[in-house]
A and B are shown apart, each in its own frame.
Chain A
Amino acid sequence: MTTVQERPPASESKPRTITRRRGRITVGGALVYFASFFLALLWLVPFLWALSTSFKTETEASLGQPIHWIPEDWSIEGYRVLFERGDHLTWMINSTVVSTIVTVLTLALCVLAAYGFSRLDFPGKKVIYGVILAGIMVPPQALIIPLFDVVSALRMVDTYWGLALPQVVAPVMIFILKRFFDAIPRDYEEAARLDGANHLRVLWSVILPLSGPILAAVGIFTFIGSWNNFLWPLLVGNDPSIMTLPVGLGVVAGGYGLLYAQNMAAAILGALPLLIVFMLFQKQIVKGVAGVGLSR
């Protein structure tokens, strides 16, 4: 029955996606095909329903019954009000700023540290690495109470730094990067070292170019994680002008009552940015994850 039970050795070469021979369309194949299609469509239903509601008038939206998917009376009122209020845009900018700071800092600090742990020997290395690894076990959510106090004492409440810095503490990234760096053959560096390059230079011109996919994957997931982070920004961003998108949408009310169409317009606009990013880069994202061996 089976011919291969062992996992094939991870090859250095790029994994090939093999197009299997599928001569004829079988009944089973067609069934799977349609099942996939309907599942995917079903999965989109919440989104489509939100989209449909967002283009209704408030009255039509709140009426509920009977359900109809195509608005009887197309209206962009919900979107218009949102744009007029403008805080949506503020939150989107805040989210972008915070997620960018978090991603850049995480990459910079974690790459430096992972390189240090992988390639250099220094006093206290084992202890520090141990303490950092132990941090993987600590769920940041269990720390919110004292963490808020610390950030508050540092007068960082309602600042970008207060939002971003605690999110940079991602020990698991150090672990992933160090493991990857460890696996890079040292021969590559020798040449550079012989040419007189110091460690920073080796890191920059030898290690990093070899780490493209893993950095992309770490970066992408750090960015998505930060963009969608809710709990921490909820705690530390009290002033609406500093709130990120998820928090602003979650806690700031419209001031115009509970309006479903407007609510759904806000939902659609809130979903769009990363959705567009994903649509543009979906192939690369899948490849990044595969290349990194995150799933090996």
Chain B
Amino acid sequence: MTNNPPPPGAVTRRGLLTGATAAAGLGLAGCGSASEAFSGETTVKQWNLLAGSDGAIMTSMHDQFTAETGIGLQATTFAWGTPFYTKLVMGASGGNAADVATIHLSRLGSLSPDTLLDSIGLDELTDAGLNPEDFPSSIWERCFADDRLYAVPIDTHALVNFYNRTICEQAGVLNPDGTLLETHGVEEYFDLLRAVKDVTGEYGTSLDTNAGWRQFWAWYRQQDGEWIFHEDGYELDDDKALVAIETMWRMADEGLCPRIADGAQCAANFENGAGGLVQVGNWEITRFRAFDEAQGLDFSITEMPDFFGNRRTQGDCHSYALPRHNAWDEEVRAATVEYISWMLQHSFEWGAGAGHTPAYLPVTESEEYQSLQPNAEYSGVVENVQFDPDVWFSGSAARLAVDVAQTLVGVYSGATTPEQALDTIKTQAQTLVDLPNPVD
């Protein structure tokens, strides 16, 4: 029995229309798998936070899913980050949220899986054609809480480096084969940025100054910095943290990156040539491809530059989780698991279209995927990806990342010195440690 009949006013369903809109020209590979026998009435409600351009890829995959399986899908994209997670928690606490939601794997613990999520049976997965061996074990292990499976990983995504070939060629920072010169250390990379800045006349690289946590964590981790939290405190390596923050400060101070640019501005800077590179998540590939089609933009992607001796980068895994239901309709439940399975088995498109590295090994290990460009150029991110610290207030868009990012906005803008910023960050972290834990 369904617990939540659709409200009388819901006249339209999203994502069932032509869908070709933003996804136009993505060249979706038509995989013709047999359609399951679901009655036309079954609809899966999916919530996601894919507010970036990867959302367009998901939408077109959804259309294909519905066309193939006959299962209806009602997908909603919420504003990324805190707004999404707040909605998810409130919906789940009411017991009639979505059937399935995309979450960051790093957030699993903070979502109180015990009370707010429904666990997934392994047999359910196998019945739908998914096996635990199909996932990298390092990721798969993160999907459990109290020995129960609460998440199914979709991908690994990370901060990468996009470069504009036209500009970089003029700046003389390309290899003969058209790839970006590999640099070692901050100074070498800054030299590269200076050369690019001379060409653009504005910035070397663009980046999202509101999302400084990502850069901070990547560069801190490149120095082997650890951030371990315990009951009443934490261990942070001040020197390494300061070095990471100073790198941001210098980059902005010299005008090698913008002093202020939100997600949209950050991408626009790259599109309109204000910056010859952009350090941003791999998901922006969709947006830049669309721009390329419209106006021409010759770009490729490489890993996070080596600032401190390696190419570690900040990242996470999108995963499917089932928000708690007061009651499951058996058919909806089956359709939900079928949806998860279908999306994973078709995640080649997720990788090709949105630039994410699929978690589903049969896809990533396929020859087709291995030779996929530009994905192959940054395939190393899967090894280099660094998850956020492991504590209940950490993870993508959680308090720690948000608070730190807000402080770092001031570093980019020039209002806060690195020392001040570090002090603030340490105070913020202590405040979070002192909070009573509402999860367990």
Q: A residues touching B (Cβ–Cβ < 8 Å)?
A: 59, 62-64, 81, 84-87, 89-90, 93-94, 97, 148, 152, 157-160, 235, 238-242, 250-258, 260
Contacts and interface: CB of A to CB of B under 8 A. Distances in A.
Contact of A63 (B79, B94, B262, B272): B272
A157 to B, nearest CB: 4
Given A62-B268, A252-B78, A239 B55 contact: no
A148 B83 CA distance: 17
B80 to A, nearest CB: 7
7 contacts: A85-B17, A87-B76, A90-B11, A157-B96, A241-B9, A255-B48, A257-B51
A255 B56 contact: yes
A255 B59 contact: yes
A93 B286 CA distance: 33
Interface residues of B, number: 52
A252 B76 contact: yes
B38 interface: no
Nearest to B56: A256
Nearest to A243: B76
Nearest to A149: B93
A254 B17 contact: no
Among A85, A238, A252, chain B packs the most CB atoms within 10 A around the CB of: A238
A117 to B, nearest CB: 35
B111 to A, nearest CB: 15
A160 B91 CA distance: 15
A253 B9 contact: no
Interface in B165-223: none
A252 B79 contact: yes
B50 interface: yes
A238 B56 contact: no
Given A86-B13, A90-B10, A258-B263, 13 more contacts: A62-B268, A84-B17, A85-B17, A86-B14, A87-B12, A97-B8, A157-B91, A159-B7, A160-B8, A241-B9, A253-B80, A255-B55, A258-B51
Contacts of B262: 258
Contacts of B9: 90, 93-94, 97, 160, 241-242
A159 B9 CA distance: 10
Among A97, A160, A235, A258, chain B packs the most CB atoms within 10 A around the CB of: A258
Contact of B91 (A89, A238, A258): A238
B22 interface: yes
A165 B9 CA distance: 17
Contact of B77 (A64, A152, A253): A253
B366 interface: no
B287 to A, nearest CB: 5
A162 to B, nearest CB: 9
A257 B14 CA distance: 16
B108 interface: no
Judged by DSSP, the binding face of B is mixed
A266 to B, nearest CB: 13
Given A63-B272, A241-B74, A257 B6 contact: no
A86 B74 CA distance: 12
B399 interface: no
Contacts of A86: 11-14, 17
A59 B10 contact: no
Given A59-B294, A62-B268, A251-B83, A256 B93 contact: no
A253 B78 contact: yes
Given A62-B264, A160-B7, A253-B78, A87 B291 contact: no
Nearest to A241: B10
A63 B269 CA distance: 9
Contact of A242 (B7, B48, B87, B287): B7
B48 to A, nearest CB: 8
B97 interface: yes
A85 B16 CA distance: 9
Contacts of B80: 253
A279 to B, nearest CB: 26
Given A84-B18, A84-B21, A255-B51, A241 B96 contact: no
A193 to B, nearest CB: 42
A90 B12 contact: yes
B58 interface: yes
Given A86-B14, A94-B9, A152 B94 contact: yes
A62 B80 CA distance: 20
